[in-house]
Chain A
Amino acid sequence: QVQLKESGPGLVQPSETLSLTCTVSGFSLTSYSVSWVRQPSGKGPEWMGRMWYDGDTAYNSALKSRLSISRDTSKNQVFLKMNSLQTDDTGTYYCTRDAIAYYFDYWGQGVMVTVSS
């Protein structure tokens, strides 16, 4: 069955870089796109960016200067790197499978990231 699982550090220092991994199973990264979506506590989700099935990327313009998404198809993994983290980057980070356009039909369990010294 389709599964996505995020992994990465729970605590990041301000101004440091966040690195997260999304490991997928049950589908191919060359057939489906994968997005990263984050959610500050008590707020709605925010789409961050997408790794297209063909290897192209798309980013939310609000984060584009700090964000990089890449993948390793041999390991079924998609990676997120975001630099210059600040306290308002604290929240839960999810990876999702994009069914059609930007309809997210499967979500990972999420990983909580706290930005604090």
Chain B
Amino acid sequence: DIQMTQTPSSMPASLGERVTISCRASQGISNYLNWYQQKPDGTIKPLIYYTSNLQSGVPSRFSGSGSGTDYSLTISSLEPEDFAMYYCQQYDSSPNTFGAGTKLELK
């Protein structure tokens, strides 16, 4: 199975700050990479699909990029509702697999 490594595992940040979360695959995944957000109540919401495509309704401050084995999620200016867990997921190879998550915390 392809292993997905997210860094950092937790990130303290301030309102209005620009942050980037990284996700590295154990082998190339040809941009088949999605991002999700999970709130403390367990609710999971899709953010980005196929590396850089924004899910409908997701604010434009979220963006994704990457290629090969290295991908990233950037939030350009943190809002209060952005403090949550973030997961990457690859679907290039079966089974699709998720990273262990990055917790974005208020500094």
Contacts and interface: CB of A to CB of B under 8 A. Distances in A.
Interface string A63-103: 00000000000000000000000000000101000011111
A55 interface: no
A100 B55 CA distance: 12
Contacts of A94: 44
A45 B98 contact: yes
Contacts of A92: 42
Q: Determine the main DSSP class of A at the interface with B.
A: strand
Interface residues of B, number: 24
Interface size class of A (residues with CB under 8 A): 20 to 34
Contact of A102 (B1, B87, B96, B100): B96
B95 A62 contact: yes
Contacts of A102: 34, 89, 91, 96
Contacts of A110: 42, 44
A47 B42 contact: no
Interface of B: 1, 4, 32, 34, 36, 42-46, 49-50, 55, 87, 89, 91, 94-101
11 contacts: A44-B99, A44-B101, A46-B97, A94-B44, A101-B32, A103-B34, A103-B50, A104-B44, A107-B44, A107-B45, A110-B44
B46 A60 contact: no
A5 B34 CA distance: 23
B91 A45 contact: no
**Could you say which of B44, B87, B91, B94 has the most chain A C-beta atoms within 10 Å of its C-beta?**
B44
Nearest to B87: A44
